[in-house]
Amino acid sequence: MPNQQRPGRITVPAIRAMKRREKIVCLTAYTAPVAALLDPHVDVLLVGDSVGMVVHGLPTPTAVTLEMMILHGQAVVRGSSRALVVVDLPFGSFEASPEQAFASSVRVMQETGCHAVKIEAGEALAPTIAFLVQRGVPVMGHVGLRPQAVHVDGGFKAKGRTAGERTRALAEARAADEAGCFAIVVEGVAADLADEITRTVAAPTIGIGASSVCDGQVLVSDDMLGLFERTPKFVRRYADIRSAIGGAAAQYAADVRAGTFPGETEVYRFKPEG
């Protein structure tokens, strides 16, 4: 059984109330051990569909399935006790109809014990978001650069550099806000547009590649920890886990080949009885 919401968990109303009062700290998590390490320091743990690229080596998030999100959501809920856990609804699990989105949301929340879902929220999805919220599903929106639209956009491209893109992103944010999102991720938009969105909507904004004026920030933890060779422009590396893992593996390999591992302290010896 997945862990249910425990006393002391940060709640959806608490996150919504943080707008303009204190910054919301959010990081992605996909496993129980990482969730446990991040949990004391963040307000929100996001089980993003970025798991497809980060953990499973997929080229885009569009191949991620609902079952994958549930599996990783279960692990993150088990590994955490304080942060609000939000799970992405993957591509194809919510677009067909509000009823499909509700069925997917119910599965995710019941089978993981998470506290909210996230939807990449174009204007067309506003009625679906309202449908979910009215039925007790807390929804985090996602506007600007939407990774699930990567094939339509022809790549992961920042938004808000043209008048048309600015108008569209602002309309998306307003629609998500009016539909009842308790928070909205604003990704990959020009800083001044992120500022305008933050001033315009009632829900707190959580920026990624946006602006420090947003009500909070989110990063993919593996990027922030330096697990990959390439670092996106909007990421600040806080560690170099890639080098640490590579160095540890190299030392282990050298010890095995030299016959120095395992050593005396790392093997079992027979102890006679009596």
Name residues whose C-beta falls within 8 Å of residue 198's C-beta, 6 or more positions apart in sequence.
186, 205, 211, 213, 214, 215
Task: Exactly one of 111, 120, 172, 187 is catalytic; name it.
Answer: 187
Q: Which residues pair with 208 in a beta bridge?
A: 187
Cα separation of 91 and 216, whole Å? Answer: 25
Q: Which residues contact 164 (CB under 8 A, 6 or more apart)?
A: none
For 2, counting Cβ atoms within 10 Å of its Cβ (0-12 exposed, 13-18 middle, 19+ buried), the class is middle
| Residue 103 neighbours by CB distance under 10 Å | 14
Is the distance from CB of 181 to CB of 132 less than 8 angstroms?
Answer: no
Q: Are 173 and 183 in contact (CB under 8 A)?
A: no
Cis peptide, bond prior to residue 262, ω within 30 of zero: yes
Separation CA 57–CA 64 (nearest Å): 11
Q: Report the C-alpha gap between 213 and 205 in whole angstroms.
A: 9
22 is catalytic: no
Q: Which positions are catalytic?
A: 187
